[in-house]
Amino acid sequence: MTQRKDLRNIAIIAHVDHGKTTLVNELLKQSDTLDSHTQLDDRVMDNNDLERERGITILAKNTAVKYKGTHINIMDTPGHADFGGEVERILKMVDGVVLVVDAYEGTMPQTRFVLMKALEEGLTPVVVVNKIDKPSARPQEVVDEVLDLFIELGADDDQIDFPVVYASAINGTSSASDQLADQEPNMDAIFDAVLEHVPAPEANFDEPLKFQVSLLDYNEYVGRIGIGRIFSGQIHVGDQVTLIKNDGSQKNFRVTKMFGFFGLDRVEIQEAKAGDLIALAGMEDIFVSETITDPENPEAMPALHIDEPTLQMTFLTNNSPFAGREGDYVTSRNLQDRLESELHTDVSLKVEPTDSPDAFTVSGRGELHLSILIENMRREGYEFQVSRPQVIIKEVDGVQMEPFERVQIDTPEEYMGAIIEALGMRKAEIADMINPGTGQVRMIFSVPARGLIGFSTEFMSLTHGYGIMNHSFDEYRPLIDGNIGRRRNGALVAQEAGQTTTYSIMNLEDRGTIFVEPGTEVYGGMIVGEHNRENDLTVNITRAKALTNVRSATKDQTSVIKQPRKMTLEESIEFMDDDEYCEVTPQSIRLRKKILDKNAREKAAKKDKK
């Protein structure tokens, strides 16, 4: 079979924060792609505000560069476990992977996850040891770790014989040598390794058309766009083609627009052929895994795996006393339309109606997946409430099953005992422990996913910010009895509406941790702090001191209170209990009880105990 020597398709895979996106930036800069006037921002592929703020890639991106006359399609993949479904589908589109590994951190849980998927697909790997300029870099040991991981994951002889390039993406340098002094001021070593080792696509242009959708995009002008690879044949704008749906049904449609990728742009094209990665418009209800074929020879490709959601939350319209004050979109119709529009592009998300017209069950791949959706919505002007996350329990052969996660923790040795104890209470089992005697220890656990809800804040506290925790979905196992990972302490709940005062906050500080500053407007049933005991406590946080003379008034003004604990969206979601909501608006994040009235709440609690 002849090959398209003018084309290579690769994916960049790595653990979170090992430098994938920075590396793609440099490949773009140093290829023969952009003209000399184009100014690239740092991590230009992360074009979503949240991606830039958090330093993570959320959505898969594709670009393409020219190098020595060869068109190289590059897929930049997410590294976080919550977006693993994107990684799997992208790997179906490419012939090789560039595995980026941090020269100090070495192999991490997501390195293992993405490499396992790449090896299962039989892809050719090129290993890039990045951040070689770090003072703490240990490139030789890291390459040994990578080799051990390849062997452990069952790589074949060809895959184990991988080329290694050493690079500093942030400085735009690379080399085949592991010596920092040998770094060349360009990315040629990576490009050359890709051209030499990654196979070119087959040039089977004469066979019937087969194009499979791996990713979705949406555009108001052309509707839903299917992004994928042409595995055989050719396609032209205006062609009549057949779409084979996931349920086996077929629909004919005409190709109205096609796009190729070059540099940072999606370029409109008139034709494409086997090996090309393209975006296709013209079919409104196109979905991931579906095949576009020749009407004369309709044949579906094997279905792509789409990660099942493991976590769900209820999204509902805001019905608190402050409802409608701060949001532009506040109705259930607004909420439903926005959630349904997310389904156009996010195939790991599920949205289902509930018994109430104002509430929807939203299922996703994890806390990060759902919290990013919530954060994007509040920035767009939406106001709504969400419930505590719940894991999705499945029934297999009459047995209830729950999701388990593989958790890797790197921490200073002195915090090891506290972590083992805390995770033990969350029904974790320790799978491995590596203590090289450097003062740092690596522990690997198997933990029920519900045991990780709310754990990251506790983890940062246990390790004083020095610990690193990473996790990825492992498997479904039989359900473990008992409440796992629930909040131990109760909440401090405002008794009535009003403005918080310095005087009342000072009087409550010995009862727990306060979340609000003086002068904050609150309502009855709103959570204003964490109680230092297990039970909830209703408190008067709006009471002002009775002033009897000028002296005491001045004294009151100079009172000093502790800094309140400002709750982020993630911390609020982790803090919530089953009888609470998180109220989300463009300006505020508030925690509240589902039942705001104290007497009604206490009656309901007594009823539940019975």
Binding-site residue positions for GTP: 17-22, 130-133
Residue 336: CB atoms within 10 A of its CB come to 17
Backbone angles phi, psi at 550, to 5 degrees: -65, -40
Structure-block tokens of residue 98: 């560039």
> Side chain identity at 451, as an amino acid letter?
G
Strand bridging mode 589-593 / 580-584: antiparallel
Tokens 């754990």 sit at which residue? 455
Residue type, position 281, single letter = A
Radius of gyration of the chain (CA): 27
Q: Which of 238, 371, 255, 390 is nearest to 313 (CA)?
A: 390
Distances in Å between the Cα of 460 and the Cα atoms of 378, 457, 502 are 26, 5, 29
Do residues 111 and 119 lie in contact, with contact meaning Cβ atoms separated by under 8 Å? no
Q: Phi/psi class of residue 293: alpha, beta or left (left: φ > 0; alpha: ψ in -120 to 50)?
A: beta
CA quadruple 295, 299, 303, 304: dihedral, nearest 10? -60
What is d(CA 329, CA 343) in angstroms, rounded to the nearest whole number? Answer: 19
Give the Cα separation of 166 and 498 in Å (integer): 61
Cα–Cα dist 174/184, whole Å = 5
Q: Are the beta carbons of 210 and 301 closer than 8 angstroms? A: yes
3-state secondary structure 275-318: CCEEEEECCCCCCCCCEEECCCCCCCCCCCCCCCCCEEEEEEEC
Annotated binding site: 17-22, 130-133
Calculate the dihedral angle through the C-alpha atoms of 156, 162, 168, 173, rounding to the nearest 10 degrees. Answer: -150
